[in-house]
Amino acid sequence: MPASIATWNINSVRLRLPIVLDFLRDYAPDVLMLQEIKCLNDQFPRVALAAAGYPYQAVHGQKGYHGVATISKTPLTDISSRMFCEIPDSRHVSALTDFGHGPVTLHNFYIPAGGDTPDPETNPKFKHKLGFLAELKTWFGEPGFARGQLIAGDFNVAPHENDVWSHKQLRDVVSHTPIETEALDALLAGGHGWVDLVRRHIPHDQKLYSWWSYRATDWALSNRGRRLDHIWSTADLAANSSGAEIITPARGWSAKPSDHVPVIIRFN
pLDDT of residue 139: 96
Q: How many residues are recorded in the chain?
A: 268
- Kindly calculate the radius of gyration of the chain based on its CA atoms and give it in whole angstroms: 17
Q: What is the pLDDT of residue 101?
A: 80
Distance of CA 15 to the CA centre of its chain: 19
Which amino acid does the sequence have at 6? A
pTM score, whole prediction = 0.97
Looking at CATH, the fold of the domain delimited by 3-267 is given as Deoxyribonuclease I; Chain A (3.60.10)
Average confidence (pLDDT) per 10 residues, the chain, 268 residues: 95 98 98 98 98 98 96 98 97 95 95 97 98 97 96 98 98 98 95 94 97 94 97 97 98 95 97
| Gap between the Cα atoms of 223 and 213, Å rounded | 9
